[in-house]
Structure 1
Amino acid sequence: MSLESIRSSVELDLAARVVDLVRQAAGPSAEAEVMVRHDAQALTRFAVSMIHQNVADAVTTVGLRLHLDGRTASGATTIVDADGLRGLVERTVAAARLSPPDGTWPGLTPPSPLHHSAGYHGSGEHSRLDFGFDEATARATPAERADRVRDFVRAAEGLETAGYCRTVYTSAAFANSAGQSAEGRTAEAAMDGIARADGADGVARLASGRLADLDGTALGARAAAKARAARNPVELTPGRYEVVLEPEAVADLLDNFSVFGFNGKAYAQKQSFAELGADQFDPSVTLIDEPLGSRDEHAAGLPFDDEGTPRESLVLVREGVTKAVAHDRTSAAEAGTVSTGHASGSSRTWGPYATHVRLEASPAPAAAPAGDPADPVAASARPLVARMERGLLITDLWYTRVLDQKTLVITGLTRNGVWLVENGEVTAAVGNMRFTQSYPQALGAGMVLGIGRESILLPDRWSGTRFAAPALHLASWNLTGNASG
């Protein structure tokens, strides 16, 4: 039995012990759910083209949510000995008795098997799912991460570089007083780096369930090519431009769609643009939340949420038609439906949102060209750029903020490379610009002129989400000012 398998059994035992302690302290009428997570993260950071920090952290957290006499309270601890668990239960029971009545309590997840997939193990009282789990990534050493940093720096050929390579391993278990019990584990590797040439930055990012998939040389060469091509930018007049967004920029669209648009609480409270069954996107657009990952990328999240609801693929948009939003048990009850497995520690407050969204790539059978390492245009975006008569190629978006949630109007800045494209060729670097754009309108009917042939898995962002994004060719993008003022 592997070390990771032993760890997972430890978490399940901890969860079951806390449920028993709740029964002893509060009686059989108390409803309790317990999520135990062991998170191990390791990060190798570099700046000025040298590694300056290697850190690792591992912590086991026990989270308890308790519903007692119509009142709800939550608590957590990282002290997992007998006294620590007993103290967690005592504090949470006391807090529940002092809390106001909770009329929105949705009840506990009933015993439910995890959704079967190629890595399913277990039956009976509890289930376990390890889909695409790579033990080599979970056990990755600082030297293995440093090798990729070295390759990135060398590939930049003298340009100043900075960024990180990280590995993450999570093992978790869930149990509740209704009899639901489950466990699972996940591992991920990611690299994000920039190269700088005369004040111009180029970026390359990639995530995978396997550290072996991260090629520091390829990423460093791409970042350097972008930096060199972004030197001496011109300043363009604000206005509406045809654009090709590379996967890094498309990830920001998916992030905001997920957190603010397909959020079950926002939908139930009519603060979302989503209208189920409506044609809200171009027919070429299909968005799917894939928490169990896919066979080609070997990257999966945990197979259950913080309420113990089994996760599975959820089609948010199919061929332009909005099909679903993400729900936990609370928002599902408010909307008159069922949970989609998107509960988190903050979902009752912030709302549940999809965390593994993929924009489906073009179904064109031809493979994307390998690309020239010195080309600032990503290989997956090159066919889209070739079709553009006049417009902009945008690598990245950042500092994006919601101006109007209902229509999802976002403002933000371009970053890490913008270029003017004329007659299918890059003709000039362009200075960064501010944009103000409704994301749903940008992907509306007739507005999507093309989608790349490959979805690229990108590292998680501030919301803890992870996206698979292709390049995207859009008819109009509203640039409202220059970053210089």
Structure 2
Amino acid sequence: MSAELDIAGRVIELTRRLAGTGAEAEAVADHSAQALTRFANSAIHQNVADATTTVWLRLHLDGRTAAGSTTVTDADGLQSLVERTIAASRLSPPDAAWPGLTAPAPLRPVEAFDEATAAASPRERAERVRDFVQAADGLETAGFCRTAYSSGGFVNTAGQSVEGRAAEAAMDGIARLDGADGVSRRASEHLADLDGAALGARAAAKARAGGRPIELPPGRYEVVLEPTAVADLLSNLATFGFNGKSFAQHQSFAELGTQQFDPAITITDEPLGATLPFDLEGTPRDTLVLVRDGITTAVSHDRTSAAEAGATSTGHASGSSRSWGPIAANVRLAPGPATGAAADTGDGPTAASARALVSGIRRGLLITDFWYTRVLDQKSLVITGLTRNGVWLVEDGEVTAAVGNMRFTQSYPDALGPGSVLGIGAEAIPLPDRWSGVRYTAPALHLKSWNLTGNASG
């Protein structure tokens, strides 16, 4: 038994003793250890590490619900948590939406835990930073390499008792030359998978190819989106479209059983290995198919949104899911068929994952990244944002000029709709989000139309 499972069990026993046998309660203890090595001006300037054990308790008593948390895990701290939560429940309004507790259920099998990543040293992260900087060959660089480890235990009064561990590593860096930035990112459950030299070479090649950009007029362009840009599509689709609360409240585009996407599109959430194998309500996590062959098949649910929608929890409860909705955090777009593309040598702006797609463009754009993306209309998921870290004009299958950053306004589901996807890269690349434990696995995408509405300055 892990220390976290023991703590969660003690909290439930205290709750039974202090609140009575009629109380419904669930407790989670999570130990999170994160370490970050940051670099700027081509030198490491910060190495930080943090380890915290947090205990959450949610209690449903006499028709009212309250929750509390603490980082004080001794006997007095746990007793204080239980007493405060009981007192809060008596002051809370009646909770007609209480969905009940997760029944006992086994966890899904998970691949072997990577002890080496969990125990990674500052030197190991620094070696990858060194390789990134050296591969950039004199260009100014900045970014980070991080490792994270989580161990958790869950117990509730309905008899569910589970525990698990997860580890994650990520690297994100830019290279800069005369105001042009190139970016390269990777995420993995294994630090050994992160090749700082390959990432640095890719970022530097894109920066070198981004000089002397031209300006193009607004309009609809055929585009190839590199995986770093596709990750933003997946993030917004998961947050606003495949969100079970938004779906239950008819604020999502999702229509289950409907061909809403091109038949080439299959999107899954694959949390096992990347995060704990159960959610904050103790529901076991598993692969969830959100879109299969263009047909929307599911949305992510916690117990509250599932009850509202007449569905079943998919294991996406979090500390904020009752307020903001349950959000899939490990979304993957399935790659296309293998094309025999050459390995990525870092010799130009087009990564190997996008190279074959670029060759199919008569006139269009290659876009590396999106940022500052904001929702203009949630129901249709119209997004506005900016390109970043490299845009290039493509003519007759060849990159001919760097292009200045542009603003876009585009419905993401429409961009991926039936007949709109002209190709999908053969390699799906795991990419880190800002938060540890969140990642998006994406190939490059060749899309028929993307609505560029102006240059970045206008």
Report TM bin, short chain: over 0.9
Aligned residue in 1 for 2:134: 154
Does residue 400 of structure 1 match 2:373?
A: yes
CA distance in 2, matches of 1:318, 1:43: 37
Aligned residue in 2 for 1:64: 57
Give the secondary-structure state (helix, strand or coil) at the position aligned to 1:41. Answer: strand
RMSD over equivalenced CA pairs, Å: 1.0
Which consecutive aligned stretches of 4+ in structure 1 deviate over 4 angstroms post-superposition? Answer: none
1:180-201 deviation line (CA, Å, top 9, x unaligned): 0000000010000000000110
Shift of 1:367: 4.2
Aligned residue in 2 for 1:327: 301
Whether the aligned pair in 1 keeps the contact of 2:274 and 2:437 (CA below 8 Å) is no
Match 1:224 to one of 198, 201, 204: 204
Shift of 1:462: 5.7
Give the secondary-structure state (helix, strand or coil) at the position aligned to 1:374. Answer: coil
Whether the aligned pair in 2 keeps the contact of 1:133 and 1:300 (CA below 8 Å) is no
Match 2:118 to one of 135, 138, 156: 138
Shift of 1:353: 1.3
Aligned residue in 1 for 2:247: 267
Aligned residue in 2 for 1:124: none
TM-score, length-normalised on structure 1?
0.93
Whether the aligned pair in 2 keeps the contact of 1:132 and 1:209 (CA below 8 Å) is no
CA distance in 2, matches of 1:231, 1:401: 28
CA distance in 1, matches of 2:376, 2:205: 34
Give the secondary-structure state (helix, strand or coil) at the position aligned to 2:351. Answer: coil
Stretches of structure 2 lacking an aligned partner (at least 5 in a row): none
CA distance in 1, matches of 2:284, 2:346: 42
Aligned residue in 2 for 1:90: 83
Shift of 1:484: 1.9
For 1:260, the aligned partner's letter is: F
CA distance in 2, matches of 1:138, 1:474: 39
Shift of 1:68: 0.4
For 2:333, the aligned partner's letter is: L
Does residue 244 of structure 1 match 2:224?
A: yes
For 2:162, the aligned partner's letter is: A
CA distance in 2, matches of 1:240, 1:353: 31
Give the secondary-structure state (helix, strand or coil) at the position aligned to 2:318. Answer: coil
Give the secondary-structure state (helix, strand or coil) at the position aligned to 2:89. Answer: helix
1:104-150 deviation line (CA, Å, top 9, x unaligned): 000000111112x2x4xxxxxxxxxxx24210000000000000000
1:2-401 equivalences in 2 (<5 Å): 9-115=2-108, 117=109, 119=110, 131-292=111-272, 299-362=273-336, 364-401=337-374
Shift of 1:461: 3.4
1:427-469 deviation line (CA, Å, top 9, x unaligned): 0000000000000000000000000001000002369631100
Instruction: Classify 1:11/1:463 alpha carbon distance in 2 versus 1 (closer, same or farther; 3 Å).
Output: closer
Whether the aligned pair in 2 keeps the contact of 1:132 and 1:300 (CA below 8 Å) is no
Shift of 1:372: 2.7
Instruction: Classify 1:366/1:424 alpha carbon distance in 2 versus 1 (closer, same or farther; 3 Å).
Output: closer
Shift of 1:301: 1.7
1:246-297 deviation line (CA, Å, top 9, x unaligned): 00000000000000000000000000000000000000000011111xxxxx
Shift of 1:392: 0.2
CA distance in 2, matches of 1:233, 1:80: 56
CA distance in 1, matches of 2:415, 2:60: 44
Whether the aligned pair in 1 keeps the contact of 2:301 and 2:326 (CA below 8 Å) is yes
Shift of 1:360: 0.2
For 1:374, the aligned partner's letter is: D
Whether the aligned pair in 2 keeps the contact of 1:284 and 1:320 (CA below 8 Å) is yes
Whether the aligned pair in 1 keeps the contact of 2:262 and 2:294 (CA below 8 Å) is yes
Stretches of structure 1 lacking an aligned partner (at least 5 in a row): 1-7, 120-130, 293-298
CA distance in 2, matches of 1:9, 1:247: 38
CA distance in 2, matches of 1:416, 1:397: 8
1:288-310 deviation line (CA, Å, top 9, x unaligned): 11111xxxxxx432111000001
Aligned residue in 2 for 1:4: none
CA distance in 1, matches of 2:5, 2:116: 23
Aligned residue in 2 for 1:441: 414
Whether the aligned pair in 2 keeps the contact of 1:152 and 1:216 (CA below 8 Å) is yes
For 1:274, the aligned partner's letter is: A
Give the secondary-structure state (helix, strand or coil) at the position aligned to 1:149. Answer: helix
**Sequence identity of aligned pairs in percent?**
73
Whether the aligned pair in 2 keeps the contact of 1:22 and 1:89 (CA below 8 Å) is yes
Give the secondary-structure state (helix, strand or coil) at the position aligned to 1:222. Answer: helix
Give the secondary-structure state (helix, strand or coil) at the position aligned to 2:352. Answer: coil
CA distance in 2, matches of 1:264, 1:401: 20
Whether the aligned pair in 1 keeps the contact of 2:228 and 2:369 (CA below 8 Å) is yes
Instruction: Classify 1:54/1:461 alpha carbon distance in 2 versus 1 (closer, same or farther; 3 Å).
Output: closer
CA distance in 1, matches of 2:243, 2:94: 25
CA distance in 2, matches of 1:77, 1:337: 32
Shift of 1:227: 0.4
1:354-406 deviation line (CA, Å, top 9, x unaligned): 111110001x2444420332121010100000010000000000000000000
Does residue 455 of structure 1 match 2:405?
A: no
CA distance in 2, matches of 1:16, 1:69: 22
CA distance in 2, matches of 1:370, 1:301: 30
